[in-house]
Amino acid sequence: MSKENVEFVPGETIYLRHAQRQQVGLVFPMRVVEERGDAVVLWAPAGTRGWHSNMPDGRTMGQTPLPEWSAASRVPAPHAIDHGVLNWHPRGRDYSIRWFYRPDGTFYRWYANLEAPLVLWRDGGMAGLDTVDWDLDVVIEPDRRWAWKDEELFAERLTMPEAYWVDDEDRVRRAGKEVIELVEAGAFPFDGTWCDFRPDPAWPPLSPELPVGWDRPVVAVA
């Protein structure tokens, strides 16, 4: 697997994966919109199918004690999104920003996903972006009202460091505060950029099938 000087091609399918203590917690196909020197932009339309990892007995993460969850070998369970999503993944930052669109293409919300800096990889005919989702997020309305999301969940999981994949609360909160400063300033990416985004109509639908190799080892992330 190569992770050195990886480049994505506009229009190709890549797989966003969230790592949880070296297991894959999420696999989600996305279309590459563009790769800049400082960021990668990805798209998935409403109805796109991805996969969360669940317990073998079908329990979700929210239904399972965290120590049991982290110790178990989990299995992929399909889910589909009911909105379009455009992801901006800046290199070296502790977050990504998502634009949410209704099925008719109307923008309705930003979502700041606090996470480890992206790592791009390519392995044969498959390519992807690995990160670690830090659970605490910031939701931003079109008028730039914002709110923290999942604060109680984040605080609870921090009390179980032997089972959790987040070990630096201050770093996570700093990332959120950096986003909030941009929101309150009305600065990019909260300045209206991409709110009228429309995907290339020539792009084919993303595959609804779990790809072979989805569980290849996750790329180490900070």
Residue 150 has pLDDT above 70, yes or no: yes
Three-state secondary-structure class, residue 174? helix
Which of these ranges, 79-83, 117-121, 217-221, has the smallest mean pLDDT?
217-221
Q: Is the pLDDT of residue 120 over 80?
A: yes
Domains assigned to the chain = 12-185 (2.40.380.10)
> Does the pLDDT value for residue 222 go beyond 70?
no
For residues 140 and 26, what is the distance between their CA atoms, to the nearest angstrom? Answer: 23
Q: What is the mean pLDDT of the chain?
A: 95
pLDDT at residue 166 in the model: 97
Nearest to 137 by CA among 120, 121, 113: 113
Report CA torsion sign: 132, 183, 29, 66. positive
Confidence of residue 5 (pLDDT cuts 50, 70, 90): confident
Rounded to whole angstroms, the Cα distance separating 92 from 76 reads 29
**Burial state string for 74-104 with b = 16 or more CB within 10 A and e = fewer than 16:** bebeeeeeebbbbbbbbeebbbbbbbbbeee
Q: Is the pLDDT of residue 1 over 70?
A: no
Phi, psi dihedrals of residue 143, rounded to the nearest 5°? -85, 10
Q: Which two tokens stand for residue 70?
A: 């982290």
Mean pLDDT of 21-37: 94
Q: Report the relative pairing of strands 13-20 and 126-131 from DSSP bridges.
A: parallel
Residues of the chain above pLDDT 70, percent? 98
